Amino acid sequence: MIEQAREALKRVYGYDSFRKGQEEIIAGILNGRDTLAILPTGGGKSICYQIPSMLLPGTSLVISPLISLMKDQVDALRRVGVPAAFLNSSLGAAEYREVVRSSLQGEYKLLYVAPERLDAPMFQTLSEQLAIPLIAIDEAHCVSQWGHDFRPSYRQLAGWIARMANRPLVAAFTATATNEVARDISEMLKLRDPGVYVTGFARPNLSLSVVTGAQKKSFLERFVADRKEQSGIVYAATRKEVENVYELLSRSGVQAGKYHGGLSDAERAETQERFRFDDIRVMVATNAFGMGIDKPNVRYVLHWQMTGDIESYYQEAGRAGRDGEESECVLLFEPADMQVQRFLIEQGAGDADRKAIQLSKLHMMMNYSRTQRCLQQFIVDYFGETGVAACGKCSSCLDKSEPVNRTDEAKMALSCVGRMKGRFGVTMVAKVLKGSRDKRLLEFGLDRLSTYGLMKHLPEKEIADWLYWLVSEGYLRLSEGQYPVVSLTANALPVLEGREMIMQRVRATVRQSSASDNAASTPLFEALRQWRKEKAAAEGVPPFMLFFDATIREIANVQPQTTEELLAVKGIGAAKADKYGGELIAIIQSFIGEGLPLGSDFPPKQTAPNRSGGSRASGEEQPSHVTTLELFQAGQEPGDIAKERGLSRVTVEGHLIRCADEGLDIDFSRIIPADQEALIVAAIEKVGTEKLRPIKDELPEDVSFFAIHGVISKYGFKSS
Ligand code: ADP
């Protein structure tokens, strides 16, 4: 059966090989084994349950909390010819009933359901009337209390599955699970002897950075300006910050959108769509944005503030580069941000236990922001994975700065905290060190401390940051509660006694964008991208739904001339080749057919790629196209000539047409099949020669562009 799975991978999705873990997971499911799979974001989880669903008899259920993701996946499946539907709150009552009705008739291979939609009677009906071979549970960490996104509806689901008379296979998928959460998922969902697959958490196409001590506003402006063509997300912790950052970017002329809980549903939906359609380049958002956005070409995710835990950070940052291309994740870090997160935890829902868990997670996040270790290693380590090599491209790996000795400032700060006897917060300590005339400070007589004004040369905010840094390094401790006070830890002693030095690195740089968006934009790539945008708009779907950037880039590089060649491109399966192949090939033809008589649909003809071997080979006396002609006249076919000369077939065909146009002796009967000639002439008379595509559309599939060019040349039809 795994053979069939491989065949489906190629036919349906256009991919040649499975990614790490996919084959084992699919084989496990097809062999009837419950599954727990932990794959990083972008690792390709969907295929792991979609392919088995296609191969197993009946309708598989996919449980997902992500409404817009469901729609995308269902759209994508339908586009490649797989019957699928979804049930969630975005459907109107009538639509909903219709989907249920069709489901019960077994019309779908996959049915996506939001867990809160799956109430008991509904579940009962489906499980009694449908053949359900598999229940795939996406974002399975939502079932665990220990996870960062616990959802009660997932708990209920687990109960129902356990009570099903004819229990299907259950396969659980998540990207973010520590060992503890993984165990919890397995227990909660009552998985039966599951195959557990952990492919690793590393995301080799992401460059992680933590930027400390930067002027955030100018940093952001420069960062975005340096990445003009790229899509990115800027996450901020609060609505107000989102508004501020949005204003900032809009003022500097960036096409930005904003997204947070204070906007209406309609506003949010519209902005999200515009982002997906590449109309908006940068989305500024709170963490409300992103659950379920599956825009594959997000090239960077920049966090304006730190998140409350590493799971959330990695999940949000991980929205960059789902298409596997180089992407960047930048965290702008100010130690004081810890306070914002603390406040959110204190104010948030949850009992004391839950808050304690959240606080310790916050602590780890703080450590991430401060660590000098490889950031990728730090994260995978957090999720329990060892033995991952340093990434070599995160801000820690690239950091060549010498640490600065800050022992003196540390002593000043620590002794001031000591003298304030654990009764005040960071702000008040900073005021004392600054030598502020604050009213409360004076009331408490803190101006009489010997440390008063010791750091008056620094701005108060910088002093506060310095104190938070000492907290994060473990020299100071903050109490819990809404008004945390600061006190010394045991680690402070050796510093105060002069037995330990304090070294600090200050980092404020991110390596220059290496994302390939800017790098490889040839005229053909741009033309294909433009075509994709127009085509997608006409179909009312986001551009990536047609092809990913990587696929477009590969087409631009490989320049396929035939359907078979097109099918060899990663990301093009039978359905897409069928639907778009003709147009793609026409665009490519118009670009690489240098010397062809037809005007191209896309103007920059003079910049058509000059492929190696496409121009005159060194030492040749005569023009390249004449050499081609000689071989043709000696009886060789264009395909053979291409092979012999190391050229593409289309270039060779272009040479021959050019020879014909130049009046050289050429046997047109070898270019134009006899039974097609009259048809082509008729088509040209009907639609003209301004563009090639309409002529092709008039004719049977098997008429080639070469033959059309041949007729135009032979009869002297000229493009206008
Ligand atoms: P996840 O849900 O794990 O974040 P997805 O299932 O959305 O990831 O897959 C991420 C991207 O990788 C998708 O665009 C998908 O088409 C692509 N992909 C998945 N499997 C393969 C594969 N074997 N070869 C190439 N691309 C793949």
Is 573's C-beta closer than 6 angstroms to any atom of ligand 1? no
Question: Checking DSSP bridges between strand 35-38 and strand 169-174, what pairing results, if any?
Answer: parallel
Is 18's C-beta closer than 6 angstroms to any atom of ligand 1? yes
DSSP type of residue 328:
E
Question: How close is the Cα of 43 to the center of ligand 1, in Å?
Answer: 6
Is 15's C-beta closer than 6 angstroms to any atom of ligand 1? yes
Residues 62-87: b if buried by 16+ CB within 10 A, e if exposed: bbbbbbbbbbbbbebbebbebbbbbb
Question: How close is the Cα of 120 to the center of ligand 1, in Å?
Answer: 32
At the second CATH level, the architecture of 2-198 is: 3-Layer(aba) Sandwich (3.40)
Is 50's C-beta closer than 6 angstroms to any atom of ligand 1? no
Give 403-505's CATH code, choosing from 2.40.10.10, 1.10.10.10, 3.40.1410.10, 3.40.190.10.
1.10.10.10
Q: Residue 384: which region, alpha, beta or left (left: phi > 0; alpha: psi -120 to 50)?
A: left
Backbone angles phi, psi at 59, to 5 degrees: -115, 120
Of the pLDDT bands very low, low, confident and very high (cuts 50, 70, 90), residue 400 is confident
Record the pTM. Answer: 0.64
At the second CATH level, the architecture of 206-382 is: 3-Layer(aba) Sandwich (3.40)
pLDDT digits (tens, 9 = 90+) for 550-585: 888 888 888 888 888 888 888 888 888 889 999 998
Closest Cα to residue 571, out of 1, 129, 10, 111?
A: 10
Of the pLDDT bands very low, low, confident and very high (cuts 50, 70, 90), residue 615 is very low
DSSP type of residue 262:
T
Question: How close is the Cα of 296 to the center of ligand 1, in Å?
Answer: 9
Check if 2-198 and 206-382 are the same fold: yes
pLDDT digits (tens, 9 = 90+) for 528-538: 888 998 888 88
Question: Checking DSSP bridges between strand 404-405 and strand 503-504, what pairing results, if any?
Answer: antiparallel
Q: Which amino acid is at 372?
A: Q
For ligand 1, what atom is nearest to the CA of residue 45? 3
Please tell me the class of the 523-715 domain.
mainly alpha
Lowest mean pLDDT among 161-165, 180-184, 632-636: 161-165
Of 356-360, 446-450, 515-519, highest mean pLDDT: 446-450
Question: How close is the Cα of 19 to the center of ligand 1, in Å?
Answer: 8
Is 8's C-beta closer than 6 angstroms to any atom of ligand 1? no
Is 21's C-beta closer than 6 angstroms to any atom of ligand 1? no
The predicted structure's pLDDT at residue 291: 63
The predicted structure's pLDDT at residue 718: 65
How many whole angstroms from its chain centre is CA 312? Answer: 15
For ligand 1, what atom is nearest to the CA of residue 296? 14
The DSSP secondary structure of 501-566, one letter per residue, reads: --EE------PPP--HHHHT--HHHHHHHHHHHHHHHHHTS-HHHH--HHHHHHHHHH---SHHHH
For the chain, what are the domain ranges? 2-198, 206-382, 403-505, 523-715
Question: How close is the Cα of 44 to the center of ligand 1, in Å?
Answer: 3
Of the pLDDT bands very low, low, confident and very high (cuts 50, 70, 90), residue 66 is confident
Residue with CA nearest ligand 1 atom 5? 44
Please give the Cα distance from 216 to 389 (Å, whole number). Answer: 31
Q: How many Cβ atoms are within 10 Å of 542's Cβ, its own excluded?
A: 24
The first and second tokens of residue 688, run together, are: 């003209």
